[in-house]
């Protein structure tokens, strides 16, 4: 840990927060990270999306200087993660998949202890701890042992510990795993507030909606490699111009509707878990001279002509779920076979001194 005081070091104008080229990490016979190339712009949330075992956590641990790469290069704000590790650590903070605070201490005791370790005086440490507890909605729980906190409260105090000294770059490794919807939304609000203060966030997640809501750019990692990268719009456009969503009135008509839609739209039809729902991904190229809107209108007319009752019919962009399925041939929550992604236990905090959430 560092106790650097004063304003945060300025990055060169336009310089990326992270650059990697051919990054590799091997555990025995397993290439957990197999040539990852990333460029992360400053001042944004950058999402790294992939299933369990894809290599997300291992990549983060190398970037945070907790693991030494076996090949390739990585720079954080221009500093090499191997040869300039101290310079990297002074500008980054990491919140891993599991809470790192001491469960036998109270919330405020945890934050004061970490603040003192990172260079705050006693009065300043208490002031900063109280500020963050208030900003994260934990004031009433400040005097309780962390072991009594809910999962969402633990994640919030863990993130608070990571930004006691506001980092230039915050790694959040699957920060909402196992949380209920309300707690997930609270963590998302915290992430947005941190970025609004100028911190860059690299967020790893296997939750497609999380990446969709928070990240301005997304890298999809599978089996240790980046298989797609771009904005949400780029990724969605890469798998088709749109998706036709159909909800039928009668479940027994779904087989007929599936055959008809596949024929009319010349595309595979996905049967949703809802027994009356179907989805068809429309390609970029016109079919019979019709654009996606024309194709969808024709499909609806054909369903009506065949006597298939439709309760709801919509044309929209493909979801990130559909993007991920198209890229990997499996849902996002399905683990990558045969790969190992070592978990991150604990938080490593850097120490730029500019306050956040003030």
The predicted-structure confidence for 94-139, as pLDDT tens digits, reads as follows: 988 776 789 999 999 999 999 999 889 999 999 999 999 998 889 9
pLDDT exceeds 70 at position 14: no
- Cα separation of 13 and 9, whole Å? 12
Average pLDDT over residues 338-358: 41
Sorting pLDDT into bands at 50, 70 and 90, what band is 289? low
Identify the weakest region by mean pLDDT among 109-113, 289-293, 348-352: 348-352
pLDDT exceeds 50 at position 65: yes
pLDDT exceeds 70 at position 10: no
- Cα separation of 153 and 116, whole Å? 22
All CATH 3.40.50.300 domain ranges in the chain, comma separated:
18-236+338-349
203 beta partners: 47, 172
The phi-psi region of residue 203 (left if phi > 0; otherwise alpha if psi is between -120 and 50; otherwise beta) is beta
CA-based max dimension of the chain: 77
> pLDDT per residue over 199-245, tens digit each?
999 999 888 889 889 999 999 999 999 999 999 888 877 766 577 88
Reading the block at residue 63, the tokens are: 């970037």
Sorting pLDDT into bands at 50, 70 and 90, what band is 328? confident
pLDDT at 92: 95
What secondary structure letter does DSSP report for 287?
B
Reading the block at residue 33, the tokens are: 């990270």
Whose CA is closest to 95, among 164, 13, 197? 164
Question: Dihedral angle at the C-alpha atoms of 104, 107, 113, 118, nearest 10 degrees?
Answer: 130
Beta carbons of 162 and 326 less than 8 angstroms apart: no
What secondary structure letter does DSSP report for 175?
T
pLDDT exceeds 50 at position 351: no
Question: Dihedral angle at the C-alpha atoms of 192, 196, 197, 200, nearest 10 degrees?
Answer: 70
Fold of 241-317: Alpha-Beta Plaits (3.30.70)
All CATH 3.30.70.600 domain ranges in the chain, comma separated:
241-317
Reading the block at residue 353, the tokens are: 């001194």
- Cα separation of 236 and 338, whole Å? 28
Fold of 18-236+338-349: Rossmann fold (3.40.50)
Beta carbons of 161 and 110 less than 8 angstroms apart: yes
Beta carbons of 136 and 155 less than 8 angstroms apart: no
What secondary structure letter does DSSP report for 336?
P
Against a cut of 0.85, is the pTM above it?
no
- Cα separation of 257 and 307, whole Å? 10
Go through the chain and tell me how many residues it has.
Answer: 358
């Amino acid at each position: 840990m560092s106790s650097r005081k004063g304003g945060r070091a300025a990055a060169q104008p336009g310089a990326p927060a992270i650059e990697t080229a051919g990054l590799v990490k091997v555990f025995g016979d397993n290439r957990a990270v197999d040539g990852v190339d990333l460029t992360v712009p400053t001042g944004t949330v950058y999402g790294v999306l992939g299933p369990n075992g894809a290599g997300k956590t291992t990549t983060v641990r190398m970037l945070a200087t907790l693991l030494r790469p076996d090949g390739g290069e990585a720079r954080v704000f221009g500093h090499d993660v191997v040869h300039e590790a101290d310079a990297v650590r002074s500008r980054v903070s990491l919140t891993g998949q599991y809470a790192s605070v001491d469960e036998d201490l109270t919330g405020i005791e945890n934050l004061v202890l970490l603040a003192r370790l990172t260079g705050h005086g006693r009065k300043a440490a208490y002031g900063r701890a109280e500020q963050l507890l208030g900003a994260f909605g934990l004031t009433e729980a400040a005097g309780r042992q962390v072991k009594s906190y809910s999962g969402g409260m633990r994640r919030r105090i863990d993130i608070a510990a990571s930004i006691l000294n506001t980092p230039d770059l915050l790694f959040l490794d699957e920060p909402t795993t196992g949380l209920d919807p309300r707690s997930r939304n609270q963590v998302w609000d915290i992430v947005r507030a941190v970025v609004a203060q100028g911190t860059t966030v690299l967020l790893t997640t296997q939750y497609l909606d999380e990446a969709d809501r928070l990240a301005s750019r997304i890298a999809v990692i599978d089996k240790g490699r980046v298989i797609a990268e771009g904005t949400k719009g780029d990724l969605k456009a890469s798998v088709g111009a749109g998706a036709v969503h159909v909800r039928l009135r009668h479940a027994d008509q779904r087989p007929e509707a599936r055959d008809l839609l596949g024929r009319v739209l010349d595309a595979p039809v996905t049967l949703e878990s809802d027994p009356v729902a179907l989805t068809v991904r429309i390609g970029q190229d016109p079919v019979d001279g019709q654009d996606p809107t024309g194709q969808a209108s024709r499909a609806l007319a054909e369903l009506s002509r065949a006597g298939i009752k439709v309760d709801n019919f919509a044309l929209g962009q493909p979801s990130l779920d559909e993007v991920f399925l198209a890229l990997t041939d499996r849902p996002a929550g399905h683990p990558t076979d045969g790969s190992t992604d070592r978990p991150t236990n604990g938080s490593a905090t850097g120490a730029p001194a500019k306050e956040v959430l003030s």
